Chain A
Amino acid sequence: MTGVNVIEARGLKKDRVSSFLLKRSPILDDLSLTVREGETYGLLGPNGAGKTTTVKILVGLIKPDSGDALVLGQKAGEPEALKQIGFLPENPYFYSHLTGYEFLEFIGQLFALKKKELKERMAELLELVGMTADANQPMRKYSKGMLQRLGIAQSLINNPKVIFWDEPMSGLDPIGRRDVRKILERLKSEGKTIFFNSHLLPDVSDVCDRVGVLVKGKLVAEDSIKDIERGGGYKDLEEYFLTKVGG
């Protein structure tokens, strides 16, 4: 692991403004974290803790009210940063009348990839996520898990250096989860920096180097998996998580 900081969040704050009396309450409260090059980081936390919000800030979909978010030394959401990241959103999404193949092609064209390179990359990725056989079906006929697989494929189309996955295992069957774990292992071995959210703690402890626990917008704990499982006196990641969350 080299020492370069690939993802850097400093003092991120984001408020939610209620439509009633415009009352403000924090979604993220002074969140700081860094992920180094080649590291796999898992952001954990109960529902509504602000994990998705954090990822959305890091990929530039929303702007923090204050604080800085840097990816590969660029401000989050800048085109130079976006060229080198892959993002899988939380929920499946689709175009009703496009096939999976057309969708993947479309995403590749947004990166202005060369035709031949794109074709090869698409074939490889469809194979990787096990969607080759269904690629010519319209997306509205896909199941949740199939959309999720396609989502994983689109997030890798540009061979990104940094990967942001929001709950990559959700909606997948056990085979799918195993596949995703395998893909993660492979991406790790290729030296990618990976940032992901998940509620599936056994999977997280299998693939992550380090985890952070987010509760009500605050980072309450951050440790390496090694420390947690060996020196921390916790039975497993679940016990650690429950202790930190206070559940």
Chain B
Amino acid sequence: MVSSVINPVIAIAINTFRETVRDRVLYAFFVFACSITVLGILLGSLSVGQDIRIIEDLGLTVIAIIGGIISVFAGTNLVYKELERRTIYVIFTKPVSSWQFITGKYLGLVMCIFVVVLAMGVFLLGLIWMVDPTHHMQLHIGSIIASLALVFLELLFVLALATFFSTFSTPIMSVIFTLSLWFIGHLGGSLLDLSKMSSNPAAQQLLTALYWCLPDLAQLTRVRSVLMYGKEPSQEIIIFMLAYVFAFIFFLLGLASLVNERREFP
């Protein structure tokens, strides 16, 4: 029966969502993010005059960074917290398979990040509305929503990385691994450029192989810059980007399930 496969996943997702959303740390981050944006605007309006574009950029950057921090920390603590509190003993002595556990945990965090991005996005829109004397929201709303979606997509990827590492290493190591790969993801394209420049065929192959193993988030950056100029990215680029990110997420979660399956809980 389908429900007997899906129900545990949903239960774990809701449980994870509740645990994360009820944590005060999350609100601290949220308040922090909002204050930084407001502070930025106050400083900005003193110097540049009330430039909506600057507020927009600042707000989106803050959302991306705070969302990233929350994703990395919540994701890397995922399995560790259950181990530390021994709740893992209760879960893995129930008929729950490793992939159900990983998927449920991941989806729970995705829900949480969604709420965070949504709340910060609404706050940003509210700010822009207040600052813009003409209150022409329709000018901004499209590009802001598109940019928020892009941030969310990137966070989905970061969460999958963090989830993957959390299945076999300590939180601190997972944070380091996740941040490194995230960073590399934005440099990925340069590996390819480097390999083209190299005259040594072995080095060329090695760099190309490395490029194909490591994540490449250049697509995201490209789409972001298109949005920045107030244009619409082409459909092919969007589809390619979505396919790439989701394939990577599936791959990471699959690997995480495999690792977790062989694990003992002494």
Q: Which residues of A contact B (CB under 8 A)?
A: 56, 59-63, 79-80, 82-83, 85, 87, 89, 91, 93-98, 102, 106-107, 109-112, 151, 154, 158
Contact = CB atoms under 8 A, between A and B. Distances in A.
Contact of B22 (A63, A97, A107, A109): A97
Contacts of B5: 112
Nearest to A158: B94
Contact of B19 (A63, A85, A98): A98
A83 B18 contact: no
B198 interface: no
A95 B15 contact: yes
Contacts of A94: 85, 87
A107 B94 contact: yes
Nearest to A14: B266
A212 B7 CA distance: 39
Contacts of B210: none
Interface of B: 1, 3-5, 7-8, 10-12, 14-15, 18-19, 22-23, 85-87, 89-97, 264-266
A85 B90 CA distance: 12
Nearest to B84: A93
Given A62-B264, A95-B15, A95-B87, A110 B8 contact: yes
B91 A110 contact: yes
B19 A111 contact: no
A80 B97 CA distance: 12
Given A61-B265, A102-B18, A110 B86 contact: no
A83 B265 CA distance: 19
Contacts of B85: 93-96
A158 B96 CA distance: 14
5 contacts: A56-B266, A83-B95, A87-B93, A94-B87, A111-B94
Given A97-B19, A109-B8, A110-B94, 16 more contacts: A62-B266, A85-B93, A93-B86, A95-B19, A96-B85, A97-B22, A98-B15, A102-B15, A106-B11, A106-B14, A107-B90, A109-B7, A109-B11, A110-B11, A111-B95, A112-B8
Given A102-B18, A112-B3, A97 B264 contact: no
B90 A87 contact: yes
Contacts of A102: 15, 18
Nearest to A27: B266
A61 B96 contact: no
B15 A106 contact: yes
A89 B265 CA distance: 12
A97 B86 contact: no
A57 B96 CA distance: 17
A95 B91 CA distance: 12
Given A61-B264, A62-B264, A93 B90 contact: yes
Nearest to A151: B90
A96 B25 CA distance: 13
A110 B265 contact: no
- The residue among B10, B87, B89, B265 with the most chain A CB atoms within 10 A of its own CB is B89
Nearest to B266: A62
Contacts of A82: 93-95
Contacts of A151: 90
Given A83-B95, A89-B90, A154-B90, A98 B18 contact: yes
Contacts of A112: 1, 3-5, 7-8
